[in-house]
Amino acid sequence: MTSSVNASIPALATPLGAEKSALLQRLVEGLDSPSLTWLSGYFAGLAARQLPGALPVTPPAAAVQAAPQGTLTIVYGTQTGNSRQLAERLKQRAEATGLAVRSFRASDYPVRELKNERLLYVVISTQGDGDPPDDARGFFDFIRSKRAPALGQLRFAVLGLGDSSYPKFCEIGRILDERFAELGGTRLFARAECDVDFEPVAEPWLGQALEHAKKELAPEAALATVTPLRTVQVPPTFSKENPYPSQVLANQRITGRGALKDVRHLELSLEGSGLTYEPGDALGVIPRNPPELVEAVLSELRLDGAAEVKREGRGLPVKRWLTEELEITRLSRPFLASHAERSNHAELRRLLTPEGGEALRALFASHQVIDLLRQYPGKWSAEELVAGLRRLTPRLYSIASSQKRVGEEVHLTLGLVDYEAFGTRHVGAASNYLATREAGQDTVDVFIEANERFRLPKDPSRDVIMVGPGTGVAPFRAFVQERAETGASGRNWLFFGEQHFRTQFLYQVEWQEAVKQGTLHRIDLAFSRDQGQKVYVQNRLREKGSDVYAWLEGGASFYVCGDAKRMAPDVEEALLDIIATHGGKSREDAKAYLDSLREQQRYLRDVY
């Protein structure tokens, strides 16, 4: 039951004048509480330059509405969504204080406006070892180019995200920060660099950014005070901070006997969670470290796993810290630097100098924490170890199902990381954890990570070309299912590759059935080790280059998913060759053509 509210709006309390105040009085007269609540959100959305009719993501609590003197611009570039999440958090907080804010994905930012910006915050990740995220390439190239304008009027700050297991940690954030200053901009406060566990660094930076924005854009005198009419109860939602305990429904190996890789198909329940996803999204998994690895670290350092240690106010046994909370399957630069001091090894200290680049990269690629402890012995107390290791962060897996087909389930295609090194078996934290979950018995803590930059075309009549070798085929299983369920008329063409046809043709029966039903129109295969000369998906692309170019000219979207270090660059090279050869273009014009596809969101990558 709702009650009607009579609102009285004295003319002196508004900047509208007597006539408009009277109109506003007539508008709100007789409206009930829910209607007034909606209307206040609508006006707040307009003030924040949102689309008419759109409600704010986080409605401000009782707040003073003010007329801001300027606008804060936030630009973010992201590969996995973390930068977007932080940028949105900053935008919501700034709007809640009455500031005018506009936020852009880097690919959508109108660079011609940069010369007029007064206050700019950039939140950007570094992809792999020193590359910008796909959605920030154009923005990054423009800032570094001679076309970038003088920025004498600009006040800015940069938040970089990265992975300290790469030598070029947060390289893109550093370059942009220095370039803005070089162009004449004034740095409001120091750049911050976030590791994979970004919250401890990001949260203080966001607080600092908000305080500076309030000073820079001090609102004018308050115009009116809005008092919430009632508290709206929002049902709890599952997220990275509050993951859903998903029941394992199926855990099936889909590579044959004798295959060099163990690839699993997992089906997880979302029943009752309220979680939804779109093809192209990822499932976040909260992993656990292998018990054998935890015991090895404790043994090597002669630590008592039952001893309780505190970190950031939380007290847990050391064994639990190492199992559930801290990263021990991947090295980080801060931990390596600390261990170099504790072990007093000159070789490790040399690796951390600028001359150590390639050797440092090789060490990060080959060593887990236990390998470092064994090769370069050093002393760590339980307290020092718990403080020195970085947080165990969620792992993201491309979703391999369409929710329109599977309902309250989510499917994954998982490659188990399992190899021999330094005389012992090594496994990945998340892949080993998932591969050992029992169907019908175990649960896995999960959340949905939206990936707006890897979506099917909005026009269902558009064709799609999908390149997904190995487990990179996962999102394309979702794409084909989705297009079949929605009756999309556009054609679907899949390029898939693995080592052997007989044992590693993932989802073979499903692809054959899709071809038979006409929901997969073409499929080209590359099994690298079934003949003397290795053949990869990029070779198949070149072989079919004429048709690939014809599809692109006809409006097709081109998708790539999988390995970022070798496969994705090789596929891009093949694509450039195809455009140059079959389009009669120079190398420079082929790059411009590919950049145009990227800007149109017709060349999309989900690489890792």
Helix crossing, 199-216 with 82-96: angle to 10°?
Answer: 40
Contacts of 536 (CB under 8 A, 6+ apart): 469, 497, 526, 528, 567, 570
At 162, which amino acid appears? G
Residue 361 pLDDT? 87
pTM of the full structure: 0.78
Q: What is the DSSP letter of 261?
A: S
For residue 542, how many other CB atoms are within 10 A of its CB?
Answer: 15
Q: Which residue has the tokens 């048709």?
A: 547
Question: Which parts of the chain have pLDDT scores under 70?
Answer: 1-69, 219-236
CA torsion through residues 244, 245, 249, 251, sign: positive
> Angle, nearest 10°, between helix axes 508-517 and 474-486?
30
d(CA 123, CA 192): 10
Single-letter amino acid code for the residue at 474: A
Amino acid (one-letter) located at 101: V
pLDDT at position 16: 56
Note the pLDDT of residue 153: 93
| Six token digits for residue 133 | 């995220």
In 154-228 the beta strands, taken as DSSP E runs, fall at 155-161, 186-187, 192-194, 224-226
Cα separation, 398 vs 414, in Å, equals: 9
Place of tokens 């989802």: 507
Please, what is the end-to-end C-alpha distance for the chain in angstroms? 52
Contacts of 485 (CB under 8 A, 6+ apart): 402, 404, 405
Task: Strands of 275-390 (E only): list them.
Answer: 282-285, 308-311, 314-317
- Cβ count near 295 (within 10 Å): 14
CA–CA separation, 192 and 183 (whole Å): 20
What pLDDT sits at residue 69?
Answer: 44
